[in-house]
Amino acid sequence: MRRRLVIAAAGAVALAATAGLIAGGVLWPNRVPAAGYAVRGVDISAYQGAIDWPVLAAEDLDFAVIKATEGRGFVDERFAENWADARATSLAVGAYHFVTFEASAEEQLANVIATVPVVEGALPITVDLEFYGEHFASPPDAELVRGIVDPLLAGLEQHYGAPPILYTTAEAHERYVRDRYPANPIWIRDVVLPPTLPDDRDWTIWQYSNRDRLPGYDGVEPFIDMNVLAGGPARLQELLGE
């Protein structure tokens, strides 16, 4: 009995230590499978602070997606600077909008259009659809959310000329995205295991880590999100419209 207790205690300590290493950004569970993809990128917001884009771009990166807007009126305070400076590097650059459930599609569409310029050679706009705040415990009804997302995607495609990329988590995908939006590339978040979509679709971008550290930024958020793109350089060029 004592031996079993010792083994159980040792196992608990090992699990706690592993969890601590993951939370601290020392151990990356998905690093090995993600290394099999040739195209890597980051997504960032004002939380990464002032970014030295030439330094960050030199970190074996191919693309960057920058937060632009949220809901009906929020604009990321560093978007304009990040957009201009990132586009001056060799990176493929895109912008993303964080969907809120309290604002209409028309209000959110107007916010994006007023903030993100139409430029050739940019990645398609990304629409970030995930739970936040109180909605983790009480997710909105699918009909309400699709009443926002459907016209938002359609309006963005009409304005920018390409189907938006749809970023989502496994939980939000199951509730709102499954078996829908076949024209929109899926960007899935899974920082524990390589993702498999429940509707057997292929993902285009996989956010495999939210605990990486790279040189080139100095914000209140010490970590940066890491992503890989399926399909290699050819798929990246396709998304850029080339």
CB count within 10 Å of CB 216 equals 18
Does 6 score more than 50 pLDDT?
A: no
pLDDT digits (tens, 9 = 90+) for 184-197: 999 999 998 899 99
Instruction: Give the whole-angstrom CA distance, residue 229 versus residue 239.
Output: 11
Q: Which of 46-50, 116-120, 151-155, 190-194 has the lowest mean pLDDT?
A: 190-194
pLDDT, mean of residues 158-172: 98
Q: Give 3-state DSSP helix, strand, coil % of the chain, rounded to 5.
A: 40, 20, 40
Domains and CATH numbers, the chain: 31-239 (3.20.20.80)
Listing DSSP states for 66-122 in one string gives EEEEETTTEE-TTHHHHHHHHHTSSSEEEEEEE--SSS-HHHHHHHHHHHS---TTP
pLDDT digits (tens, 9 = 90+) for 121-130: 999 999 999 9
- The pTM for the full model equals 0.89
